[in-house]
Amino acid sequence: MQIDTDTFWLAAVVLLGALMAATMALAIAAARVRAAARRVHEQQTQHEGMSNRLLENEYRLRAIIESEPECMKLQAANGTVLEINPAGLALLEADSPGDVIGKPIYLFVAAESRDVYRDNVRRVFAGESVVYEFRLITLKGSSRWMETHATPLRDAHGAIYALLAITRDITDRRLVEERARRHQSELAHVARLSTMGEMATALAHELNQPLSAIAAFARGCTRRVRAGTTTLAELNEPLDAISEQAERAGAMIRHLREFVRKRELERVAIDINLVVRSVAQFAEIEARQHATRLRLELAGGLAPAHADPIMVEQVIGNLVRNAIDAMDEAHSPCREITVRTARADGAAIGVEVSDTGPGIMAGLVEQVFDPFFTTKPDGVGMGLSISRSIVESHGGRIGVRSRPGGGATFGFTLPVFSQEVTRDALAHGVRR
């Protein structure tokens, strides 16, 4: 019986122990479940917070894009418009987003701007941010000039999935630029006409030479033919000389006619040394009449410049004429003008015109390029101002160095001709 009691207590203790262990295990499991539930809840709240924040951000971004006064649009690589804001729709004179979204942008880009546009889209999808100008035809048929800043949009893995473009209407700016350009070419034309007046006197004198030579050769031929003392073969030489002199005179007149013709800026690849030589042909006549020596120091192996040759001639001609005037007025004992060409800093070609005149008075150096600044009794003060606008319209710079009493050196630069320059010129509607 004793054994039975012991067994009972033992069983009771074991049972109690097992019960306690089970209760503890349950409590631990319950605590774990509670902790897990808490974590899930926390994560859920966090997640909700995050998606709320994402939604908020998206609303904010949308509000910004919608209220943005400039046109903002997303575009695919093939030119399809993915999204566009109301300002963009207004720019395109569209009545609803459906008029534009899903359509290729090239429907609205003017034919002559399409290559530039396509090229820039390609650059954006290759990872570049670009700025370009193009002409747009709206849905109602108006023509407007646009400037676009475009940048690639990337997904979480860094792949470019769209182009984000901000576009603004620059038609008014273009019109002002166009008017200024026309005004400048008119001014330059007037200046060339007045230059022609001065050149005509010198040219009349110079044309005398070939014309007298032609007359003399022709008289010689007639004399010989009349006297019957010549063979036809013997007449070849004087007749060749006559044609040569007539061609020389013709070339001078042609050149002068081209110089005074009214024209737009026409930029091409030019050999600057040829242009300098062509000006020198005329300038030399005038220099000689003022007891001035004209020297050329032309660098070899220069790259071609991207410029309008007649306009560049006008600038060099102005600088040479000013040098002659300055030395004349100051009665300079030594009168020499040197026209130099050289490679300049950056992708540029430099031209310099130096003289041995009085130089420019200290304090006036800054003013000589101002319109209507002149120290000459019969000066107009437009020569240097026109020269500066011509050089700047080519993307070059003009300046002067002067030592009072030691002569003045005027120098300007022109960009080197390259495919890049040509593409820019096309993008900006510059005629070549």
Minimum Å distance from CB 364 to ligand ADP?
A: 7
The CB-of-164 to ligand ADP minimum distance in angstroms stands at 48
Fill in the DSSP letter of residue 160.
E
Q: Where are the alpha helices (DSSP H) in 101-170?
A: 114-125
Binding segment (CB under 6 A) for ligand ADP, from list 20-28, 172-180, 241-249, 316-324 = 316-324
- Count of positions on this chain that bind ligand ADP (CB under 6 A): 20
Task: Compute the half-sphere exposure of residue 103: CA atoms within 13 Å on the CB side of its CA.
Answer: 16
| Of positions 137, 216, 380, 425, contacts ligand ADP by CB under 6 A | 380
The verdict on 324 binding ligand ADP (CB under 6 A) reads no
Specify the DSSP class assigned to residue 299.
Answer: P
| Count of CA atoms in the C-beta half-sphere (13 A) of 113 | 23
Strand bridging mode 160-169 / 71-75:
antiparallel
379 binds ligand ADP (CB under 6 A): yes
Helix (H) or strand (E) holding 393: helix 383-393
Q: Which stretch binds ligand ADP (CB under 6 A): 39-47, 206-214, 275-283, 320-328?
A: 320-328
For the CB of residue 352, give the shortest distance to ligand ADP in the complex, in Å.
12
Q: How far is the CB of 178 from ligand ADP (least distance, A)?
A: 25
Provide the 10 A C-beta neighbour count for residue 227: 8
CA dist., res. 43 & res. 128, Å (int): 40
Beta-carbon neighbour count of residue 94 at 10 Å?
Answer: 20
When asked if residue 384 is in the footprint of ligand ADP (CB under 6 A), the reply is: yes
Q: Does 151 bind ligand ADP (CB under 6 A)?
A: no
Among residues 304 and 381, whose Cβ is nearest to ligand ADP?
A: 381
Q: Does 326 bind ligand ADP (CB under 6 A)?
A: yes
CA distance 131 to 148: 6
Asked if residue 84 binds ligand ADP (CB under 6 A), the reply is no
The three-point CA angle 345-346-348 to 5° equals 80
DSSP state of 303: P
The least CB distance from residue 270 to ligand ADP, in Å, is 23
Closer Cβ to ligand ADP, 62 or 376, answer by number: 376
Applying CB under 6 A, which of residues 79, 86, 97, 381 lies at the interface with ligand ADP? 381
CB of 134 vs ligand ADP, minimal distance in Å? 38
Q: How far apart are CA 99 and CA 31, in angstroms?
A: 61
**For strand 305-307 and strand 268-270, is the pairing parallel, antiparallel, or unpaired?**
antiparallel
Contact flag: residue 338 with ligand ADP (CB under 6 A): no
Tell me the two tokens of residue 45.
């709240």
Q: Does 360 bind ligand ADP (CB under 6 A)?
A: yes
Nearest by Cα to 127 from 151, 155, 156, 157: 151
373 lines the binding site for ligand ADP (CB under 6 A):
yes
Position 190 contacts ligand ADP (CB under 6 A): no
Binding residue for ligand ADP (CB under 6 A) from 368, 390, 391, 430? Answer: 368
Q: How many CB atoms lie within 10 A of CB 137?
A: 17
Out of 357, 396, 411, 415, point to the residue binding ligand ADP (CB under 6 A): 357
342 part of the interface to ligand ADP, by CB under 6 A: no
User: Quick one: which segment of 54-62, 181-189, 236-244, 381-389 binds ligand ADP (CB under 6 A)?
Assistant: 381-389
User: Min. distance of Cβ 333 from ligand ADP in angstroms?
Assistant: 16
Is 328 a binding residue for ligand ADP by CB under 6 A? The answer is: no
Q: How far is the CB of 180 from ligand ADP (least distance, A)?
A: 19
Q: Determine if 273 is a binding residue for ligand ADP (CB under 6 A).
A: no
- Nearest residue to ligand ADP, scored by beta-carbon proximity: 383
Q: Which region holds residue 141: left if phi is over 0, alpha if psi is between -120 and 50, else beta? A: left
Question: What is the Cα–Cα distance from 94 to 199, expressed in whole angstroms?
Answer: 58
What's the CA gap between 269 and 422, in Å, rounded? 10
Tell whether residue 92 is a contact of ligand ADP (CB under 6 A).
Answer: no
CB 75 within 8 A of CB 105: yes
Quote the tokens at residue 171. Answer: 């038609």
Q: Which is nearer to ligand ADP, 66 or 198 (CB)?
A: 198
Residue 142 structure tokens: 């108006």
Angle in degrees, CA 22, 24, 26, rounded to 5: 70
* Subset of residues 401 to 430 that bind ligand ADP, contact rule: CB under 6 A: 408
Residue number with CB closer to ligand ADP (148 or 318): 318
- Contacts with ligand ADP by CB under 6 A lie at 318, 322-323, 326, 355, 357, 360, 368, 373-376, 379-385, 408
